Amino acid sequence: MTKARLIKKSTAMATMTIISSIAFSFNIPSYAHENHENHENKAITASVWDKSTVNYNGSKKITVYSSPSCGCCGQWISHMKKHGFEVTDIKTDDIEAIKRKNNLPPELASCHTAIINGYVMEGHIPANDIKRFLSQKPSNLKGLAVAGMPIGSPGMESDKIKQPFSVLSFNNKGNITVFNQYKNY
């Protein structure tokens, strides 16, 4: 990967962090990370992500590594459980070590990393995409990722905001391709 491309990706992630920090300082519920944590104990009616559209009969044992202070990770775990996944939730203060150990390209980083059947699942990926990926059993790919924390993705739902986002696949060499896109959901 060229230095210019790395700088561009790093700048995009830094910009997203700054915007999230500004939104948090104004306590905007759609962006404030802690406000997602406060929603954990409230009954959520229906989510656009609840419906299972992919039949997957393989192992659904998934291990999720996340920060102890992250509330949206818990929301994503709930989403996965709704789709029949058996989740082992491991809290860690060194999530970056998990990402490095699993050769996750830095530009794909999000707030949690999950491992299932030897594949890496990074960030707020819809369960149906994970099931489709696992059904395909791609030997040339390392995993899937939703970079950053797009508002509206599973675990990051908001009443009114739904940012477009892509589910990306990647291999051990760092090659990245679009697996699925969500623009109007």
Domain at 80, CATH number: 3.40.30.10
- Segments forming the whole domain that contains residue 107: 59-182
pLDDT score recorded for residue 23: 34
Q: Can you give the pLDDT at residue 43?
A: 42
Strand order in the sheet with 119-122: 86-91, 61-66, 112-116, 119-122, 143-145, 165-170, 176-182
Nearest-angstrom CA–CA distance, 72 and 66:
10
Is the predicted pLDDT of residue 46 greater than 80, yes or no? Answer: no
Reading the block at residue 130, the tokens are 């994970």
Q: Is residue 8 included in any domain, yes or no? A: no
pLDDT in tens, 49-90: 998 889 999 999 999 999 888 888 889 999 999 999 999 999
Non-local CB neighbours of 121 within 8 Å, separated by 6+ positions = 62, 113, 114, 115, 130, 143, 144, 145
Q: pLDDT band for position 21 (50/70/90)?
A: very low
Q: Please check whether residue 172 is in contact with residue 103, taking contact to mean a CB–CB distance below 8 angstroms.
A: yes
**In terms of DSSP bridges, do strands 112-116 and 86-91 run parallel, antiparallel, or are they unpaired?**
unpaired
13 pLDDT more than 80: no
Question: Closest Cα to residue 57, out of 141, 125, 126, 137?
Answer: 137
Do the domain assignments include residue 73? yes
The predicted pLDDT at position 79 comes to 95
- Overall number of domains in the chain: 1
> Which backbone phi and psi does 116 adopt, to 5 degrees?
-145, 130
Of the listed ranges 35-39, 90-94, 160-164, 177-181, the least confidently predicted one is 35-39
Residue with tokens 């992919």: 54
pLDDT of residue 45: 57
Residue 183 has pLDDT above 70, yes or no: yes
Domain-located, residue 11: no
Of the listed ranges 10-19, 24-33, 95-104, 130-139, the least confidently predicted one is 24-33
**CB neighbours of residue 6 within 10 Å:** 12
For residue 102, being part of any structural domain is answered with yes
Residue 122 lies in a domain: yes
For residue 149, being part of any structural domain is answered with yes
What size, in residues, is the chain? Answer: 185
Q: Binning pLDDT at 50, 70 and 90, where does residue 41 land?
A: very low
